[in-house]
Amino acid sequence: MPNNKVLKSLRYILLAIFLIHSTVEAYLHQLLGGGGKDHLYMLCVLMED
């Protein structure tokens, strides 16, 4: 089943890319700031719906 190995490798590569991207975005968000109160306000508005 070589196809299964390829799919499993592709899955792990995509998961690693997603993890690295999320980590970098979270770090930059903490480093540069979230841009003020508006983002939190929008999140609360979206959660109310």
Instruction: Please state whether the predicted TM-score (pTM) of the whole model is above 0.85.
Output: no
Which amino acid belongs to residue 28? L
Q: How far is CA 24 from the centre of its chain?
A: 9
What does 1-49 look like in DSSP terms, one character per residue?
-HHHHHHHHHHHHHHHHHHHHHHHHHHHHHHH---SHHHHHHHHHHHH-
pLDDT digits 0-9 by tens, 1-49: 578 999 999 999 999 999 999 999 888 877 776 655 555 555 565 555 4
- Residue 32's nearest CA partner among 24, 43, 21 is 24
Phi, psi of 33 (to 5 degrees): 95, 160
